Chain A
Amino acid sequence: MTEEVMLHGCLNNNAAAQEALYTRFSPRMLGVCYRFARNREDAEDMLQEGFIKVFSQLYQFRNQGALEGWIRRIIVHTCINVLKKNKKFSESVDLIHANSIHLNENNIHSILQAKQVVESIRLLPLGYRTVLNLYAIEGFSHREIAHILDIEESTSRSQYTRAKAMLEDILIKKKILYKPREHFAMTASGANK
């Protein structure tokens, strides 16, 4: 089913077209939700709520850009709204007072391939994770992030810096990432042999 046929069917409330659209985009969108949610169940709740909004607002999509990008934006907004509605931020870490967070080394245990990076991201405290997701992955500006999360722009920048440092630390410990100095030392020792 082409995207145009699918869109037309969804606008006519055709169940087959709706299922086709859902089947095509839901795996990637669930991955998006999974990065924001605390667990898989929460992620699926976000996904369902997000797709309800997608179908109800589909008439607003005017083919200006990719459909996936348009859906993804709705999903991301839904995730943020769910987190704000459920006050998940207060349960984990305050965006401002996150300096004393220490990672549990036991949580950084083996994860594989792309999932490893995502799981590493999920190890971050909720506030760090949200800002990092929105800026580094979803492409929001700090100004937009500040508006969405109802924080200052400077706070968004500082939180992203801290989140990035913490994630680097995790990935280095898992040897998914190497710092430039370490990498240079390794290659040099290899050349001398």
Chain B
Amino acid sequence: MTMERKFYTDKFEDLIKESADDFKMIPSKKVWQGLYNDLHPGRKWPSLVVTFALIFGLLTISYLNTQQHEQLNTNVSDLGKSSLNSSNKNSSLINNTNTKTAAQVAPQRQTISKQSSTSTSSSSVPVAVLANTSIKNLSYYDFEENAETKGEGQLSSRSTSFNENIFKPIAGVADDIHKSNLTPQTAVDQPHVVGNQDINSPEYFNNRISNLPAALINIDKPLSQNSADVNLTTDESNTTKNQKVKKVRTSKVRWMYSLSPTVSYRRYTAFEAPNANTVLSGLTNAVPAFDVNRKSSQHPSSGLEAGITMKYPLNKYFKFTSGFQANYSSYIIEARTVHSTTANLLLQNERTGMPYAFSNSAYYGNGAGINPVNLRNYAVSISLPVGLEYLLGGNDWVKFYVAATAQPVLALASKSYVLSTDNKFYLTNPEMARHINMATNFGAFMSVNSKKINWQLGPQVNYQMLSSFTDIYPVKEHYVNYGIKLAFGRR
């Protein structure tokens, strides 16, 4: 109809009808999507999408919050390595013959300090005078023994006779000396106090080195009377003073990431139903005696569990475990489509126990019907498993464990088709769904260590303790999930 056509009012009804019949509107996509989901409920995959999104979120969060071990620079050994010079032809790091610990060397220090000859270099980092032992040029640092070409500030040529004596650096002493601005001359001639201690005193020396790793010293050759103080070059002192001894800490906690495909079963427990015929009026169908193995055809379906677990060893055999887990469980009911009809479900008041009928439209029948259809009952949830692991045995690379956890569960989404009171139809009632539940998990697994990763694999079973439904529905349903768990984490 165009704007130019003008109709008389006696053709009013024709105008209205013709205009209305010509009028069309394109519906939005969500209409068909909603319609499709109603017609094909078994093909919905939003729960799996949510599960995978949860897994991705778990992995991302765990990566960002992974504990990092603090490893700091080591002590003596690193200092020793850094000061050794590969061009030192005569140097030997360790001489196993006639070795003494640093503590054994200590008492002889004073003799040397008194006998030390002058050392004129004032630009070098002063060092402490060393113990009077059979070692010629004891130093708090390793030194080069190709000292013939060295000038002032380095080892004198007399060090060539001291060809096998390598004294590992004693941490901390050089710092004290450096701070004290001690010169070789003053170190020899005058006692100098650093931190209320005379660094030339035997007591200070003993205190410093008594707890250090053994400095292996060759004491074959007696110390020369004319042994000079050993001076360090500035470069060496700068290197060593920047190295600090720090404590290496390692954490006992281990984080494991797990994935477990499962198969879900449904289990009904006993049912106690009031007799609707005597209590309720209006229901046309009698309530039959309830049979636990109700006449409904169902079979298990696939599920998935994914999570992150923290493990803390309590002792050699037991580990405490805690974590976070996302779960998806489902099973299939075989039904047939029927024309829309009203079906009844017998419920009971939670407080008084009085029965009442819940009515809803039913589109699926049990047994009789038009076309076969699979109805998927599912539950998407998150849980916090807490439990223990017990080591059965094994070696450094392969170990065997058994584990058990208890986990509070929060249901995020669920759908349950239940059989109507007369056993003829399937209908849903979201109000019956229980949102908070409890589950237990038992399993055994093998733990294998690779270079950096620890792998775990083993069977497990998860049992839902409370019914999927609240107490308003007398039938108790429990999910039982059997699966294989794969987990991995850093060693």
On A, residues with C-beta under 8 Å from B are 11-13, 15, 18-19, 22, 26-28, 30-31, 34-35, 40, 43-44, 47-48, 51-53, 55-57, 59-60, 112-118, 121, 132-133, 136-137, 164, 167-168, 171, 176-180, 183
Given A30-B26, A136-B17, A177-B12, the answer on whether A13 and B7 have CB atoms closer than 8 Å is no
Pairwise interchain contact A34-B3, C-beta atoms closer than 8 A: no
> Assuming A13-B337, A178-B8, what are 6 further A-B pairs, CB within 8 angstroms?
A30-B24, A30-B25, A57-B340, A117-B20, A118-B20, A180-B9
Q: Which of B196-220 contact A (CB under 8 A)?
A: none
Q: Could you list some 22 contacts between A and B, CB below 8 A?
A: A13-B371, A15-B36, A18-B39, A27-B24, A30-B25, A31-B24, A44-B31, A47-B27, A47-B31, A48-B31, A52-B39, A55-B39, A57-B339, A114-B19, A114-B20, A117-B15, A117-B19, A118-B19, A137-B17, A164-B13, A179-B8, A183-B8
How far is A15 from B24 in the complex, measured between Cα atoms in Å?
A: 24
Q: Which residue of A has the minimal Cβ distance to B34?
A: A48
Q: Which residue of B has the minimal Cβ distance to A23?
A: B32
State how many angstroms separate the Cβ of A92 from the closest Cβ of chain B. Answer: 20
Contact of B457 with A by CB under 8 A: no
Tally of contact residues, B, Cβ under 8 A: 40
Which residues of the partner chain A approach B8 to less than 8 Å between Cβ atoms?
Answer: 178-180, 183
State how many angstroms separate the Cβ of A54 from the closest Cβ of chain B. Answer: 10
Which residues of the partner chain B approach A60 to less than 8 Å between Cβ atoms?
Answer: 339
Partner of A27, one of B13, B26, B40: B26
How far is A150 from B20 in the complex, measured between Cα atoms in Å?
A: 25
Pairwise interchain contact B32-A22, C-beta atoms closer than 8 A: yes
Pairwise interchain contact A178-B6, C-beta atoms closer than 8 A: yes
Which residues of the partner chain A approach B35 to less than 8 Å between Cβ atoms?
Answer: 22, 48, 51-52
Q: Which of B1-54 contact A (CB under 8 A)?
A: 1-3, 6-10, 12-13, 15-17, 19-28, 30-32, 34-36, 38-40
Pairwise interchain contact A56-B339, C-beta atoms closer than 8 A: yes
Contact of B363 with A by CB under 8 A: yes
How far is A124 from B40 in the complex, measured between Cα atoms in Å?
A: 39
Which residues of the partner chain B approach A18 to less than 8 Å between Cβ atoms?
Answer: 36, 39
How far is A113 from B1 in the complex, measured between Cα atoms in Å?
A: 6
How far is A30 from B30 in the complex, measured between Cα atoms in Å?
A: 14
Pairwise interchain contact B23-A114, C-beta atoms closer than 8 A: yes
